Structure 1
Amino acid sequence: MGADPRRGETLAREVVAASRAADDLPALAWSLRALAWAHRSQWDHGTADRLLAEALRLGRRLGDGLLVAHVCMTRHAVRQEMGRPHTARRDLEAALEALTRAPAGDERSVAEARVRIQQATSDTNAGRLERAERQFRELARHPLLTDTDRYKLLNNLGFVIAQRGAYDDALHWIEQAVEVAARLGPAALAPVLASRAWIRVQGGGLALGLRDFEEAARVYAAAGLPLGSTTPSTPTRWPTCGCCRRRPRRRPGRSRSSRRPRCR
């Protein structure tokens, strides 16, 4: 899905249709979640939210705690981007509660780590940067995270560190995020390049930062991902951590290049 959201949407639609026809409820719930994520990649959050509501009903009906937790985590990301932080936070609480009913093992351990990553991201957006950095650093040592989890975590950690002005340390983590995201495809790589661009600009590397912005815009366009009226140096949706794309408000006296993105 991350490599090509358009192809992912087509595949998810096919699996949804086949699952409905076969009355395979677990497959239907998981494929609805995948289809919702594809819509979220195209900034169609309303459709994504409706699909996730159906997936959540199915998961609860099946009594599958792991499925319910994953759907709640996906809906948290969607609702954050819809500007609904309070309901998004409740989704994380519901995910943790659902995991208490999931079998112990690696899948549950990874799911719990993902919830904690999202909680740390919420802390970042709320300005609790010290706590967020501590959580991200701890989670970076988790041995079972997938590449998708890891590039987002590394990207968020770099962003948080940059907030306190430690730009060299921030770039150390962002470079790792770029390496992982490049293996996943353009939907992962483009926002991480934009993160690196912002950090480089803030750290005084204007030329390198602008080059990264240009490359991020090119990757977005090649992947067919929406940019709105984005330009390389002033993105309308400034992606920072794989799911961070809201344009920050401009403060008086600040140049366009110094605008700070928010994590999601």
Structure 2
Amino acid sequence: MYFQPLVVKNKNKVLPLTGRVKVYIPKRYYPEQLGWYLNKIPSHTAYSLDVENTSKFFQIVTDPDDADIALVRINSPERGYVKYNGYDPNRVSDTDNGYLPISLQYLPYEAKLARKVSIAGDRRDGQVLNRSYFGKSIDTINQSDLEQVRAVRNRMGNKPVILSIDTSNPFVISEIEPYVDAILLDFGVDSQVIYSLITGASEPSGLLPFQMPKNMDTVETQNEDTPFDMMTFMDEEGNSYDFGYGLNFSGRITDWRTTKYTKDVY
């Protein structure tokens, strides 16, 4: 048994791929970041999918002009460590508490709707009582993923672009959804599992385990102790990326899980 990617968009039922299609897979830019032990991981460019063992699925081409479709794999917005993880000790001063927004979007984010006074705080002497990050800005380390998708869309013209996202948490997918025809959330599975799904060797059956926010405003204004109170993203096909949503090759999945566990039940 293995974990299978879930499909959230399949415009014009581009999936599954049939026949011996020619696929363009671009290399991904991996930004410089810090590891678990604050060791520097240098930036580099490499394939984010296995392109060596694809012969039983399709034919890889290196020029988008020769391709039938493009297959792109990126990561959900990445924050890295230290200052990108909500706190930067190097910023601490009499006028700065060091706390920063945690962004769920690719583009730079300014926390205009955050609380001016935080709920959490520490009343001990020398500790920070107000941990608000109101009015502060932050960017993610992989805005390049969004730029790559846009560039591939431009190169492919009207030919389909399939996007697989290694998803670590909910994020603002509205920045990227208009540029692609199909979207898989793969949660870090092996490339062969992705290939098996998009070529129809297996039927998608996954459902969203969380809500995907419409934007960062709805993230900031949601109630921490209230389930299902977030305004969710709706794509060009009219699908709301809500808890329990997912597609198979026929359309929206409706089964015993969606009857028992989706938010309409509670």
State if a TM-score over 0.5 links the two structures. Answer: no
Computing the radius of gyration over CA atoms, which structure comes out larger, 1 or 2? 2
Give the TM-score, by structure 2 length: 0.29
Compare the two structures and name the one with the higher helix fraction: 1
Q: Which has the higher contact order (CA 8 A, sep 6+)?
A: 2
